[in-house]
Amino acid sequence: MSRGGKLVNMIIGLEVHCQLDTKSKLFCGCSTDYRDDGPNTHSCPICSGLPGSLPSINKKAVEYAIRVAKSLKCEICEESEFSRKNYFYPDLPKGFQITQYDHPLALKGILTIDDDEGLEKIVRITRIHLEEDPGRLVHKGGVDRPKYTLVDYNRSGIPLIEIVTEPDLRSPQEARRYLQKLRATLEYLSVFDSEKEGSLRVDANISIEGSERVEVKNITSYKGVEKALTFEYTRQKNALRRGQKIIRETRHFVEGRGVTTSSRSKEMEQDYRYFPEPDLLPLRVKEWSEKISLPELPDARRERFIEQYSCSPIHAKTLTGDLKVAEFYEKVAKINPVLCATWVADTLLGELYYRNMSVQAVPHERFIELIAILDAGKITEKSAVEVLRNLLDQIKDSGICESPNECIVRLNLGKTGGDAITKAVGEVISEQKTAIKDLKNGKKGAMNFLVGQVMKKIRGRGDPQEINLLLEQALSPGDE
């Protein structure tokens, strides 16, 4: 991790829980579309754990899980089964969670990511299993000093897959990249919607080589993983430097404060008293894997973008790292795919991120028009950025925007014609005597200054190369 100083190895393994995007829950027919509804409106005797209710397995959830397992090159187990994990906590009304324990659905896969040097790295997947999501708890009076707890069982029973890695990750940045790649893969498979709140949760195991490992729970975002692990690494390193021992414990990530706090969990593995779920029959679904066909995944799409659109490898990686961005790019890459790749990957994504907007909000036609105008040389790049910003602001405010052409006319951003530039060049030459002297004395920076002065006069609507040329011509010795 630390460069130059003493090398301290960080060892990270992740357990990622993803909600599968089925219509109904894992063991009952309650709808999974609960986010806009009041508490306890998507629950029934099965997912609220009433005595005598009988779970039955959602076939689609198993198919989705196998799709994920196949894409991560896992082995689907000949037979897998559900178990009861017993614990006493109100997020599960039955007193146990139905999960998979010693016979998970799939074992031994891989996911390829970039390491911190940009080299390809294989992260080993230990296992993938299916389980039910617990209910949601609201701690009243704050996490630090709660007075009581409110329980909502709408989330209880949503199908989850847990994807567990070997301790192969070596930095918080690698962990973030692993998550981004995993998210992209799941979205390409159409089994997961990352925009749904709480659809992905992470537990991270982190240790410093030679010390005990600490489990950090309650990480709910991609940025959160990097933050939690960076905090935890610093905490452990400092403790070791002070001669303290790292104790094996579970810690809780407090997103708002960016810290982890000790949450003494009293349960040990044997306290969960796992046993096979007697209400469910085992799964023998290994052969399903052959019948399930996988769509084009991020790596394959990246190669195709390089081939088909002549994207640079870096642009291709950015564009394919998110399914929605990849789909947007393919819709707008009509006129000049390379220019388009630059504009989507370098400009649009940054502007969207700044406004906390999704690429789905951007109308394809408007973007295509803007690129066409830019490609035809009718506006400068600088003006095109201004148009884009204007359009995005309009979409953010009202959901719709004017056409790029209307925007160019309204803001008077059309490229300034030859006469206006020549006039501005003339004015600058008569005004900036000192700079011209500098230039003649060989000071190269003076030319940039002069171009800047001309640009200022025509409000950035000129082509810098053209201005440069005009200035050079005007200042060439023959004209003196």
Tell the smallest beta-carbon distance from residue 216 to other proteins (Å): 16
Give the phi and the psi of residue 422 in degrees, each rounded to 5. Answer: -60, -40
Contact with other proteins (CB under 8 A) among 1, 8, 49, 89: 89
Residue 409 lies near other proteins (rule: CB under 8 A): no
Write phi, then psi, for 114 (nearest 5 degrees). Answer: -95, 135
Distance of CA 91 to CAs 43, 96, 322, 441, Å? 13, 10, 32, 77
Exactly one of 35, 79, 300, 431 binds other proteins (CB under 8 A); which one? Answer: 79
158 scored as a contact of other proteins (CB under 8 A) = no
Residue 452 near other proteins by CB under 8 A? no
Which member of 19, 58, 171, 416 binds other proteins (CB under 8 A)? 58
Buried-exposed string 394-423: b where 16+ CB fall within 10 A, e elsewhere: ebeeeeebebbbebbeeeebebbeeeebee
Among 35, 139, 364, 459, binds other proteins (CB under 8 A): 139
Classified as helix, coil or strand, 137 is: strand
Q: Do 274 and 239 touch, CB atoms closer than 8 A?
A: no
Rounded CA separation 421/428 (Å): 10
Pick the binder of other proteins from 12, 18, 43, 348 (CB under 8 A).
43
Q: Does 146 bind other proteins (CB under 8 A)?
A: yes
282 counts as binding other proteins under rule CB under 8 A = yes
Is 267 among the residues that bind other proteins (CB under 8 A)? yes
Strands of the sheet with 83-86, listed across from one edge: 96-99, 83-86, 275-276
Phi and psi (nearest 5°) for 145?
A: -140, 70
Q: Using the rule CB under 8 A, which residue among 2, 9, 56, 358 binds other proteins?
A: 56
Determine if 35 is a binding residue for other proteins (CB under 8 A). Answer: no
With tokens 């790029």, the residue in question is 404
Nearest-CA neighbor of 125 among 186, 72, 178? 72
Among 73, 116, 138, 350, binds other proteins (CB under 8 A): 138
Q: What angle do CA 188, 134, 173 make, to 5 degrees?
A: 50
State which residue, 264 or 444, has the beta carbon closest to other proteins.
264
Cβ at position 61, least distance to other proteins in Å: 7
Nearer CB in complex with other proteins: 7/268: 268
Q: Is 24 in the site for other proteins (CB under 8 A)?
A: yes
Judged by CB under 8 A, which of 92, 111, 130, 151 binds other proteins? 151
Query: Which of 14, 16, 30, 65: binder of other proteins (CB under 8 A)?
Result: 30
As a dihedral over the C-alpha atoms of residue 273, residue 276, residue 280, residue 282, rounded to 10 degrees, the angle is 150
CA atoms within 13 A on the CB side of 110: 5
Query: To the nearest whole angstrom, how small is the minimum distance from the Cβ of residue 169 to other proteins?
Result: 29
Q: Which residues of 340-372 are buried (b: 16+ CB within 10 A; e: fewer)?
A: bbbbbbeebbebbeeeebebeebeeebbbbbbb
Q: Based on the shown chain and the rule CB under 8 A, indicate whether residue 149 belongs to the binding site for other proteins.
A: yes
Q: How far is the CB of 144 from other proteins (least distance, A)?
A: 9
Distance (Å, rounded) from C-alpha 107 to C-alpha 91? Answer: 28
Task: Number of residues interacting with other proteins: please give it, by CB under 8 A.
Answer: 53
Task: Kindly tell me which residue out of 182, 283, 413, 435 binds other proteins, with binding defined by CB under 8 A.
Answer: 283
**Closer residue to other proteins in complex, CB, 146/445:** 146
Which among 42-50, 343-351, 394-402, 464-472 is the span making contact with other proteins, rule CB under 8 A?
A: 42-50
Q: Which residues pair with 124 in a beta bridge?
A: 110
CB of 274 to other proteins, least distance (A): 14
By CB under 8 A, the residues from 284 to 313 that bind other proteins are: 284-285
Residue ranges in contact with other proteins by CB under 8 A: 22-24, 28-31, 38-45, 48, 56-62, 79, 86-90, 95, 137-139, 141, 143, 146-153, 263, 266-267, 271, 280-285
